[in-house]
Structure 1
Amino acid sequence: MNILDKIIERKKQEIADAKSKISIEKLKDSEFFGRSTFSLRETIKTKSGIIAEFKRQSPSKGIINDQVSPLEVVSQYEKFGAIAVSILTDKDFFGGSFDDVLSVRNHINIPILRKDFMIDEYQFYEAKSIGADVILLIASCLSPIQVSEFTELAHSLDLEVLLEIHSKDELKYINKNVDFVGINNRNLKDFKVDLQHSVDLKNQLPNDILSVAESGIYNEEDFKFLKEKGFEGFLMGEYFMKNENPGQKFGEFISNVTV
């Protein structure tokens, strides 16, 4: 069993526990469920194109930074020009929580991507209830039919969909309704990074699809390389989070790549 399989098995238990405690109807009564969402589609081609991530830890890196608060970090991300923020909500493997989203929702005015392993419709109501604007669908966790059905559900809740793929075989998961296709530079099964693999895969995407380069962007050269290859968006987290002041590091990065 690889790490992705372990995560999914744990996620199934987590969802079952959540359903037993809070119904979908109860989620609909939450403070943020009725709010109008921010659109990433409208901003992805503006400013930096960077979706800056708040991430405490990962299965491959262990603890990255557990000494800073979400609000402190994402406020600076917004200040320095992030088009959106990504916040991990998986607890066991990434050290995240719903509180990380809830604590910042009223303080920033850019989209929030709830980054998690979405395998059940219940999670989409959770995402809406905590104030998310975009959700991530990971092809390797789902079937093409699930991607289509989950995309429809997300849109019915006014949530946009970032579909993540990693291989040529997963191109069949793309449907005309997904808002963006993310190409993960890091293989979720063995965590190896290959930027050229992502570029090759991007060249096989439909011409009208918005593309996001995800993970494994470790320096300014990586960013510029991927931007030159035509990616519209860039999901980056570890590069900033491994620093004592992630928001400030993001600001320095923006200054260097937009000169």
Structure 2
Amino acid sequence: MTTILERIVTVRRRRVAEAQEKVPLEFLWDRCGRGRRGEAPRDRLAAWPASRRAVIAEVKRRSPSKGDLRPELDPAALGRAYAEAGAFAISVLTEPDFFGGSLEDLRAVREAVEIPVLRKDFVVDPYQV
């Protein structure tokens, strides 16, 4: 019997292989500028008062154990609400098959807020980075 984690990893590997067929890694490297550095990352943690708790809020549509949590959620609106409530950062689940997330959810939150946004997924191949 396979565990849920083993099933997720199997599906992620299949999806990565499909993505690589559609968009080769070489194309992504070229699009990213092969090592070109953009704007320096902001050191938000250094600027955060030590006495204040840093909450990382999460955007998540569903989970394998709990089922649908918020299938119709608006990621940008939720991200803005978290930021306005004082979240330090926002974690966005992007795994589509078991958690209902997407890279579009990540983009929507990134465009909606100024605080750091983290991609939460099952990374099984350097291609995903």
Larger RCO of the pair (alpha carbons < 8 Å, separation 6+): 2
1:152-177 residue CA offsets vs partner (Å, 9 max, x unmatched): xxxxxxxxxxxxxxxxxxxxxxxxxx
Quote how far apart the aligned CAs of 1:24 are.
Answer: 2.7
Query: Following the alignment from structure 2 to structure 1, what is the Cα–Cα distance between the partners of residues 117 and 49?
Result: 13
CA distance in 2, matches of 1:25, 1:69: 33
Change (3 A) 1:88 1:41: same
Matched, 1:23 2:24: yes
Q: Does 1:8 align with 2:9?
A: yes
Cα distance in 2 between the residues matched to 1:44 and 1:6: 41
More helix per residue: 2
Report SS of the residue matched to 2:119: strand
- Cα offsets for 1:155-207 (capped at 9, x unmatched): xxxxxxxxxxxxxxxxxxxxxxxxxxxxxxxxxxxxxxxxxxxxxxxxxxxxx
Structure 2 counterpart of 1:141 = none
Is there any run of 5+ residues in structure 2 with no aligned partner, and where? none
- TM-score normalised to structure 1 length: 0.43
> 2 CA distance for matches of 1:87 and 1:34?
24
Give the aligned partner of residue 69 of structure 1: 74
**Identity across aligned pairs (percent)?**
37
Aligned letter for 1:12? R
Contact 1:47 1:82 in 2 (8 A): no
Kindly report structure 1 stretches of 4+ aligned residues shifted beyond 6 Å.
Answer: none
Aligned-residue offset at 1:107: 2.4
Q: Gaps (5+ residues) in structure 1?
A: 125-259
Question: What is the correspondence of 1:174-189 to structure 2 with a 5 Å cutoff?
Answer: none
State the one-letter code of the partner of 2:109.
V
TM-score (norm 2): 0.83
* Secondary structure of the corresponding residue to residue 60 of structure 1: coil
Would the alpha carbon gap of residues 122 and 59 (structure 1) be closer, same or farther in structure 2, given more than 3 Å must change? same
Question: Residue 108 of structure 1 aligns with which residue?
Answer: 113
Distance in 2 (alpha carbons) for counterparts of 1:62 and 1:44: 37
Query: Cα distance 1:111–1:75, how it changes in 2: closer, same or farther (>3 A)?
Result: same
RMSD (CA atoms): 2.2
